[in-house]
Structure 1
Amino acid sequence: MKDNLLINASYNLEVTEQRLILLAIINARQTGNGITADSKLEIHASDYASRFDVTNDGAYRALKNAVLNLFDRQFSFKEEDRNGKIGTVKSRWVSRIKYIDDSATLEITFAPDVVPLITRLEQHFTSYQIKQVAQLTGKYAIRLYELLIAWREVGKVPQINLAEFRNKIGVEDGEYMRMSDFKIRVLEPSIKQINEHTDITVTYEQHKKGRSIIGFSFRFKPKPQAKVEKLVNPKRDPNTPDFFIKMTDSQRHLFAKKMSEMPEMSKYSQGTESYQQFAIRIADMLLQPEKFRELYPILEKLGFN
């Protein structure tokens, strides 16, 4: 299981605010600068508009409202001290915001306590997974998808206590207290969106004590991948600018796992990330034509044809 403190944090963000954070992660990845407590991450309305299919004007209005709301929000997570004692940390999301109306640009700086958690999330999400989240329009659906893919390797999430589950997906105290309302307004629409718009199919099981539902567990599996045709003749020179062979999802992850342990890949590793984290990033790199060309000799060495 991927242990990710931010995914397990209890918070309640609206859809646009969640998208804003994802765009900041994309920005940090594309610039290669990473994320620190001093980073001023730029987010352009045009990026939001193209990813989420809205107008530039609508994107900027949505982002400006989101960053103002995010500035006032807090979240919490559990943290162990050097003596092994668990404490609850409360933090703001961002310490600084700036908006430039003339260029429809936002600039945000994450709060110091958030930076290591955001960094873990950046390592966890591939741009492919971000593309899946982009299709979801419900905040509870986004949170549930994030929770599920943290367990992608085993394909199931063990029983979660009802109160804990409500916190994890951002249902506030006092909201949808009747189970029928919770299912109709939160759980079932989220399951429906995930099944219709993402790369996985999920089912849930409810757990009871007497007649009362006390928790839920989930099982999910990848959707069957359509057969992918090679886009170019694989015998072509990989140095050709348009050389790119599209891999299936299973191929990407299989070869990425092998590549993560190869000495030739050491120059691409980041700090203290695990082999698993490194493999996730490599799988993401293999979706990018330029990186694919660069890594193709290593793929050939591993038998990719």
Structure 2
Amino acid sequence: MRDLVVKDNALINASYNLDLVEQRLILLAIVEARESGKGINANDPLQVHAESYINQFNVARQTAYQALKDACKDLFARQFSYQEINKRGNIENVLSRWVSEIRYIDAEATVKLIFAPAIVPLITRLEEQFTKYELQQISNLTSAYAVRLYELLIAWRSTGQTPFIELTEFRQKIGVLDDEYTRMGNFKDRVLNLAIAQVNEHTDIIVKCEQHKRGRTISGFSFTFKQKKSVTKATKSAEINIEDLAKKMTVAQRHLFAKELAELPEMGKYSQGTESYSQFAVRIAEMLQDPQKLKELVPHLIKVGFKAK
């Protein structure tokens, strides 16, 4: 099973500053919750082994556990902010910690953490807007800014472009402190251009940035991006009798493959953006009955294990 990370877009758009190891720790904890079936709550700790960190991010074995341990301690002191609409229709500004409790076991090279109550629904709620991606996509990113940029971008995967983001807001979202890289040249070299270069090289998308000005001053940025062409060796659609396949695929097969397809990042262009995984999967199952749509989806079907006979 692919390691999928799911975050509510309220969290993706939250303004916070985490370093690379802290971000990786949170992502591994989310994956651990999904794979173990424990889920995420405000009472039970999730554990992350140093071995998982080593295997996922290809880091040195002798430093992996200490890095996780330090990240766990630092994360305990971190805060994040976001906004939500209350029942009266007013904006509530929320400030919360990331975790309410941490533990580390030296003899097992393992850390444990419990997410704070405020963050639990933001990570687990799938009924509203969500962003999902394979953990592998950010495994080779060595800049925390690149991880944040990738997360911000794929929240707009269905359109392939972001709206204009004002400079101050963008700095907050990508995790740059007010007193860091105050000169635009330094900000571009050390943050923006570095993040774009890493996203383009190591993830599944290619991104371009457009800067916007008020007079001679840069006021913010917008981004456009597209999916990289798949390098997976797959059977060509032309070699498959689409009409025959549409008739022979059973209801159970359609729903089985639809569930797998719903979790592919490249299927984001078919998503309506406000549906859960299960709702998206139901709609994909309906698409598989349409020969024209089925023809489009054959390469993705092959990626999730479909084999043409």
Instruction: Flag whether TM exceeds 0.5 (same fold).
Output: yes
Q: Would you say 1:87 and 2:66 are equivalent positions?
A: no
Q: Aligned residue for 2:221?
A: 216
C-alpha distance in 2 between matches for 1:281 and 1:74: 35
Q: Aligned residue for 2:179?
A: 174
Q: Would you say 1:165 and 2:162 are equivalent positions?
A: no
Offset at 1:120? Answer: 4.2
Q: Aligned residue for 1:54?
A: 59
C-alpha distance in 2 between matches for 1:186 and 1:219: 18
Offset at 1:249? Answer: 8.2
- Alpha carbons of structure 1 residues 78 and 252: separation in structure 2 relative to 1, 3 Å: closer
Give the counterpart of 1:104 among 92, 102, 109: 109
Q: Gaps (5+ residues) in structure 1?
A: 235-244, 261-272, 283-298
Offset at 1:103? Answer: 0.4
C-alpha distance in 1 between matches for 2:122 and 2:59: 29
Task: Report which stretch shifted further, 170-179 or 50-59.
Answer: 50-59
Amino acid at match of 2:120: V
Amino acid at match of 1:278: S
Offset at 1:80? Answer: 1.5
Q: Aligned residue for 2:152?
A: 147
Q: Aligned residue for 2:83?
A: 78
Offset at 1:39? Answer: 2.2
**Secondary structure at the counterpart of residue 12 of structure 2:** coil
Indicate the structure whose relative CO is greater, using CA pairs within 8 Å and at least 6 residues apart. Answer: 2
**Aligned pairs, number:** 256
Amino acid at match of 2:77: D
Amino acid at match of 2:62: D
Cα pair 1:71 1:96 within 8 Å, conserved: yes
- Alpha carbons of structure 1 residues 281 and 39: separation in structure 2 relative to 1, 3 Å: farther
Give the counterpart of 1:116 among 121, 126, 145: 121
Runs of 4 or more, structure 1, over 6 Å off, are 248-251, 253-258, 279-282
RMSD: 3.3
- Alpha carbons of structure 1 residues 256 and 137: separation in structure 2 relative to 1, 3 Å: closer
C-alpha distance in 2 between matches for 1:57 and 1:255: 39
Amino acid at match of 2:131: H
- Alpha carbons of structure 1 residues 16 and 251: separation in structure 2 relative to 1, 3 Å: closer
- Alpha carbons of structure 1 residues 109 and 70: separation in structure 2 relative to 1, 3 Å: same
Q: Gaps (5+ residues) in structure 2?
A: 1-6, 241-256, 283-300
C-alpha distance in 2 between matches for 1:252 and 1:83: 37
Question: Residues 190-209 of structure 1, C-alpha deviation per residue, up to 9 Å, x if partnerless?
Answer: 10000111110000100111
Offset at 1:149? Answer: 0.4
Q: Would you say 1:41 and 2:54 are equivalent positions?
A: no
Question: Residues 21-46 of structure 1, C-alpha deviation per residue, up to 9 Å, x if partnerless?
Answer: 00001100001121011121011000
Offset at 1:304? Answer: 7.5
**Secondary structure at the counterpart of residue 10 of structure 2:** coil
Q: Aligned residue for 2:132?
A: 125
